[in-house]
Amino acid sequence: MSATLRIIDANRNRALEALRVLEDLARFSVGDRALSEGFKAARHAVAQALASLDASRLLASRDAHGDVGTTITGAAEHDRPTLHAIALANGSRAGEALRSLEESLKLHDTIAATRIERVRYRTYDLARDLAMRLAGSAPRQWTVCVLVTESICSMPWLDAAKAALDGGADCLQLREKHLDGGELLARAVMLRELTRSAAASLIINDRIDVALASDADGVHLGQGDLPITAARSIAGSGLFIGASTHDPHEAAEAVAAGASYCGVGCMYPSGTKDGLPIAGPGYLVRFLAEHPGTPHLAIGGIDEAKARELAALGCRGVAVSRAVLAAPDPAEAVRRLRGALAHG
C-alpha cells in the first residue's frame, strides 16, 4: 500500500499544481470569473475527496530524492511559446494526474475515487474552454450559419437576416464580394447589432479588416485568401478564423494551421458554388473522423432533406444561403433546417 500512497501523493500534487496554473490563466489572462471559479472549485474538490486519507501517512510516503522520475523529461517539456500552449500542457497534466489518482484510490477509498472521476470530467470541459479562449481559435459548433448575400434574398437583406435569426440561426456570415469597404463595414455593423441581440455569431467573408472594425466574431477565408497563419498574426486571439475546404488535404492543412472551424464542401451541386468540384457527403464523413475536435459547417446545395441526410452521417452544422434567404419565410426555413439536423 505504501507504493500506492506515493502515487496518490504525487498525483495529488501534480493535479493541484496544474489546476492552480489553469485557474491563474483564467483569472489573470482571460479575466473569466466563471472559469476561474471552476478551476478553484476543482482544486477544493480534490482536497475534499482525499480528506478521508491519513494526511500524515501520505506525507510520510513522499520521497522526492529517491524518485527515479524526477530526472526524466519529455522533448517538449520546456516548449511553452504561448499562454495557449501553457493551458494545453496543464490541462493534459491535470487530466492525467486525476486519472492516476482515481485508479490508485480504488485500492483505498472507492467513494473518493468516484469523486475524483467527477472532477476529472469537469476539468476536461474547463480546460477545453480555457484553451479555446486563449487561442481565440475555436468557436462553438454552430447549427445553422446563414451566408447573407443580398442578391439571393426574397425580401430586403436586413429583414431576411433578422428573420433567419428569429428562426434560430446561430451564426450569420456576411458574404458580399462586390461591395466596397465602406458599405461592407456599414452592413457588418448592422448585422453585429442583430447577432448580439440574438446571442448569435457574426462572421465576415474574406475581409479581416472589416471583421476587426465591426467587432465581428470571426473571418472566413477561402483557399485563395490570406493564409490562416498570416490572418492570425493580424487578428491575434481576437477573431475566429474559418477556412473553406474541399478535400481531406485542404482540411488537414487548415486544421494544422489553426483554423477555428472548417467549411466542408461542396456537398451537393449549388448555384452559389459554381465551378467547385462536388466532394459529396463522403468527404464530410472523412472530415468528422479525422478532425473530431474541429467545428464544421457542411456547405453546398443543402436544403431540409439534404440536411437530414447529412445529420444521419454525423453532421452537426450547415452553412446555407439560398435555402433560407430565397425562401418566402426565412425564419421557418431555418426552423426546418434545425429540425432536420436534430432528427436526421
Domain range for 281: 144-342
Residue 22: its pLDDT value, please?
97
Residues 213 and 93 grouped into a single domain:
no
* CB contact at 8 A, 238 and 215: no
Is there a single domain that holds both residue 108 and residue 151?
Answer: no
What is residue 276's predicted lDDT score, i.e. its pLDDT?
A: 79
48 and 181 in a single domain? The answer is: no
Residues 174 and 123 in one domain: no
Phi, psi of 326 (to 5 degrees): -85, -5
Return the beta strands (E) in the chain as ranges: 144-148, 171-174, 201-205, 218-221, 240-245, 261-264, 296-299, 318-320
Helix/strand/coil for 246: coil
Encode the chain (344 residues) as per-residue pLDDT tens digits: 577 888 998 999 999 999 999 999 999 877 778 899 999 999 999 999 998 887 777 677 776 666 645 554 544 445 566 777 789 899 999 999 999 999 999 998 999 999 999 999 999 999 988 876 676 545 679 999 999 999 999 999 999 999 999 999 999 999 998 999 999 999 999 999 999 888 889 999 999 999 999 989 999 999 999 999 899 888 877 788 999 999 999 999 998 888 889 999 999 998 766 677 899 999 999 999 999 888 999 999 999 999 999 999 999 999 999 999 999 999 999 999 999 999 86
- On whether both 195 and 74 belong to a single domain, the answer is no
59 & 39 share domain: yes
HSE, CB side, 13 Å, CA atoms: give it for residue 114. Answer: 3
pTM over 0.75: no
220 pairs with which residues across the strands? 205, 242
How far apart are the C-alpha atoms of 42 and 131, rounded to whole Å? 17
Tell me: do 163 and 68 sit in the same domain: no
pLDDT the model gives residue 84? 75
CA distance 320 to 334: 9
Residue 76 has a pLDDT of 45
**CATH classification at residue 268:** 3.20.20.70
- Give the model's pLDDT for residue 143: 96
| Side chain identity at residue 83, one-letter code | L
Tell me the C-alpha distance between 167 and 161, whole Å. 10
Whether residue 163 sits in one domain with residue 91: no
How far is the C-alpha of 106 from the C-alpha of 109, rounded, in Å? 6
